[in-house]
Amino acid sequence: MFSKLIGRRRFIQTVSSALFGIGSFRGLRTTFSFGGTEKAPVVEYRTLGKTGLKVTAVSMGVMNCSDPAVLHRAFDLGINFYDTADCYMRGRNEEMVGQVFKGRRERVLIQTKVHAHDEKRMRASVERSLRRLQTDYIDVLLWHNVHSPEEVSDSDLFEFMAKMKKEGKVRFTGFSAHRNMVALLREASRSNCHDVALVSYNFTHSKDLKEAVSMAARSGIGIVAMKTQAGGYKKEKMAGLTPHQAALKYVLLDQNVSAAIPGVTTIEQIEECAGVMRASFSKENSNQLKQYHSFLQGRICTMCGGCSGECPEGVSYGDLLRALMYREGYGNDSLAKEILQTISKQEIERCSECESCSVICRRGLDIRAAVRRVQSLELGA
């Protein structure tokens, strides 16, 4: 997600020029000290909707992290909310979270996910997650990757989640979504059955999504933001422009967001992200994000939900574009491969061979060309 970071001490002393490799970033201040010892950033807590849970505004997306030391450092920095899933790293991600927080489970909040299946398979998944996490309960359980308003209001899924709560296996429930977030949040606000919503939310998204987030928050849903860095392009791909910390702060300016979960992989990254809490945000930072936004225009799908039209073949083009984002933006081949394994080769071929795509991106992304790039990905066996 981040570019190669400079020495931490130099970062502390020169925030104006060394924030994730970006120049003249004077307006965004961290709370690290300059002396021989370093202090943890001033931790900011927010209430996770009607759950009443107090979560750190900057929390941690564990999905791409395989180093337990990063979680230990996050804990030392005061971060208390950790997001994982049953499928991340084929279960190893949950296992790492469980091992790291063994013996101090009551001091952290864990969010994991279950895919929508029949009750028997979902129950088995939850039981498996409990074993991996070495815990008797899950703080927040989400339905993973919901696509439609109908799924948001699925009575069978509500019934299953209610059983998990009644049995004491789960405290609170909700859903995650990567696209179509406006419609999903509006439906969730009306249904009044969800405690938490994990949604893609960053500076590239429209006013409509901001309003939908506000509506959901007013209804009591705790909003957790992912994909806050809008692709995670590295320094060498943007001629020095990598304003990831400003992008994270931009999301936190919205008080309707309870927590952001940047996907970090190193100790340096979690320290940089934690430093965003209670930091200021200047006009210059805003201008930097406008430049970043301009760079992304037509380059990558930012999951903004602004597509118009529908694929007549029913191809899951959103998932194809998300795989491309993980490959080209974050450089995460394993995650891109994981997504593509859920899509048949025939489906990808139908999409790439279509003479004219009926789906239009309002940000100018050539969806048909992007799908062709997906088809050519070499991700190994």
> How confident is the model at residue 329, as a pLDDT?
67
Q: Which residues contact 95 (CB under 8 A, 6 or more apart)?
A: 132, 133
Whether pLDDT at 59 is above 90: yes
- List the structure tokens of 211: 């309003």
**E-strand spans in 103-246?**
109-114, 138-143, 170-177, 196-200, 222-226
Rounded CA separation 317/373 (Å): 12
Q: Which residues contact 143 (CB under 8 A, 6 or more apart)?
A: 113, 114, 115, 116, 151, 157, 161, 173, 174, 175, 176
- pLDDT-based confidence at residue 26 (cuts at 50, 70, 90): very low
Rounded CA separation 261/60 (Å): 5
Whether pLDDT at 321 is above 60: yes
pLDDT in tens, 110-167: 999 999 889 999 999 999 999 999 999 999 999 998 989 999 999 999 999 999 999 9
What mean pLDDT, rounded, does the chain reach?
81
- pLDDT-based confidence at residue 33 (cuts at 50, 70, 90): very low
> How confident is the model at residue 138, as a pLDDT?
98
Higher pLDDT among residues 230 and 81, named by residue: 81
Element (H, E) at 82: strand 81-83
Domain 8-282 of CATH type 3.20.20.100: yes
Whether pLDDT at 96 is above 60: yes
Average pLDDT of the segment spanning 214-242: 76
Domain boundaries for CATH 3.20.20.100 within the chain: 8-282
Whether pLDDT at 19 is above 50: no
Average pLDDT of the segment spanning 338-351: 76
CB 171 within 8 A of CB 82: no
> How confident is the model at residue 233, as a pLDDT?
54
- pLDDT-based confidence at residue 108 (cuts at 50, 70, 90): very high
Whether pLDDT at 35 is above 70: no
Average pLDDT of the segment spanning 164-184: 95
Kind of pairing between the strands at 60-61 and 81-83: parallel
CB 197 within 8 A of CB 190: no
